[in-house]
């Protein structure tokens, strides 16, 4: 796919005033699932049944942009992808030209606290069986819009774009397979599940559920690891590779609360996966919010970069040691300006 076409699609998703069409999303999700099945086994080693496993081994020679919890923030995603880098390029161009890789740390859906009032209004719509659904339409325009962008990027750049599973990747609101039903500001899990059943249908839900099941859990770079949450305990390679039959690994890499991980888990993981780089390596995650740019845990080896009030990313250069004060940064919300410039 050309840069111009993909840029147009991404901006179109951002500017769209309604949720994506069901038929288009069914086709797109099926296409993405097919890409998952064809991922290079050197990048995603196969599990015992021959399916892509839960570990992504990143290109050790390419810089990597880590993007924490998006939570339906289309403006955040657009700013990451299309803001200029000062050299006449942007992350999307560099992604397509095999000059950078991007790893999202999960949690694409659910706008959470920034849309607290909308969740309350949408909850009333939910309790009335969506006889009216304008507020929930707005929520799903953003949430499904983020995930549509994820799929289009995965299909265009399967080797260099990866989205890790977070605890919010649970479209059926199931309790099992490492997932738990979600309730925080309203009845988010049930609200999304009913909305999709009513307006998208079981065919879409089946494809999308499989999409979530296909998401990896752990990204391994040259000198860093990344997962949605802090590892609850040490996990050996085979445990994560065989995540489809190991719900404890899914839960332990997506749901871990602060101070809930076993002591030494991060240190073990760094040594297990980074080899000679483990002493200088760092483990990045999102899930629980950081107060400012980042938070440190596990003796400073686990770096939390999720701030729901800021656009925070980490840029990892494999040619040098990681300096979190330089490599973790806040970017401007430039989505409206970018979309306006591209429409001229």
**Domain with 78 in it:** 3-343
DSSP 293: S
- Split at pLDDT 50, 70, 90, the class of 184 is confident
Number of domains in the chain: 1
* Domain containing residue 220: CATH number: 3.60.21.10
For 243-264, what is each residue's pLDDT tens digit? 999 999 999 999 999 999 999 9
Please report, for residues 35, 75, 229, 309, 310, the alpha-carbon distance to residue 289 in angstroms, rounded to integers and kept in the order given.
32, 19, 11, 9, 11
196 and 134 in contact (C-beta within 8 Å)?
Answer: no
pLDDT on residue 343: 57
Region 85-106: mean pLDDT is: 94
Over the stretch 69-84, which tens digit does the pLDDT of each residue have?
999 999 999 999 999 8
Residue 344's pLDDT band (cuts 50, 70, 90): very low
pLDDT of residue 249: 99
- The structure tokens 């296409």 sit at 31
Mean pLDDT for the stretch of residues 118-139? 97
Tokens describing residue 55: 């570990």
Residue-wise pLDDT tens digits, 281-326: 999 999 999 988 999 999 999 999 999 999 999 999 999 999 999 9
Q: Which pLDDT score, from 0 to 100, does residue 185 have? A: 80
- Helices then strands, each counted (H, E), the chain: 13, 11
238: which 2 tokens? 């085979």
Nearest to 168 by CA among 151, 184, 152, 157: 184
Residue 111 has pLDDT above 80, yes or no: yes
Q: What is the mean pLDDT of the chain?
A: 96
Tokens of 225: 């690891």
Overall average pLDDT of the 137-160 stretch: 98
* Site of tokens 């657009």: 78
Phi, psi at 295, each rounded to 5°:
-120, 150
Does the global pTM surpass 0.95? Answer: yes
- Long-range contact pairs involving 275-282 (C-beta distance under 8 Å, separation at least 24): 277/222, 277/223, 280/223, 280/321, 280/322, 281/223, 281/224, 281/225, 281/322, 282/223, 282/224, 282/225, 282/322, 282/324
Give the bridge partners for 225, in sequence order: 220, 283
């Amino acid at each position: 796919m050309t840069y111009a076409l993909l840029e147009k699609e991404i901006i179109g998703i951002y500017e769209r005033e309604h949720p994506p069409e069901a038929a288009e999303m069914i086709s797109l999700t099926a296409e993405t699932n097919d890409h998952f099945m064809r991922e290079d086994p050197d990048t995603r080693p196969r599990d015992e049944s021959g399916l892509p496993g839960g570990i992504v081994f990143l290109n050790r020679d390419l810089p990597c942009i880590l993007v924490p919890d998006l939570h339906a923030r289309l403006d955040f995603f657009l700013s990451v992808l299309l803001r200029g880098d000062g050299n006449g390029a942007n992350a999307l161009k560099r992604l397509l030209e095999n000059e950078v890789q991007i790893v999202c740390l999960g949690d694409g859906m659910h706008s959470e606290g920034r849309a607290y009032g909308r969740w309350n209004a949408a909850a009333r719509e939910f309790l009335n069986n969506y006889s009216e659904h304008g507020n929930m339409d707005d929520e799903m325009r953003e949430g499904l819009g983020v995930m549509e962008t994820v799929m289009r990027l995965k299909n265009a750049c399967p080797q260099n774009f990866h989205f890790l599973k977070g605890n919010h990747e649970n479209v059926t609101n199931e309790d099992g397979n490492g997932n738990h039903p979600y309730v925080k500001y309203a009845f988010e899990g049930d609200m999304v599940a009913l909305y999709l059943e009513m307006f998208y249908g079981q065919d879409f839900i089946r494809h999308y559920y499989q999409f979530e099941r296909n998401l990896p859990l752990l990204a391994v770079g040259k000198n860093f690891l990344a997962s949605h949450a802090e590892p609850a305990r040490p996990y050996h390679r085979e445990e994560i590779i065989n995540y489809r039959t190991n719900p404890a690994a899914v839960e332990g890499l997506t749901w871990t609360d602060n101070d809930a991980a076993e002591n030494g888990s991060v240190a073990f993981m760094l040594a297990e996966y980074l080899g000679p780089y483990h002493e200088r390596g760092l483990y990045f995650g999102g899930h629980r919010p950081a107060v400012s740019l980042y938070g440190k845990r596990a003796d400073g080896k686990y770096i939390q970069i999720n701030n729901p009030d800021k656009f925070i990313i980490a840029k990892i250069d494999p040619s040098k040691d990681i300096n979190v004060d330089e490599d973790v940064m806040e970017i401007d919300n430039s989505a409206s300006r970018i979309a306006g410039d591209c429409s001229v």
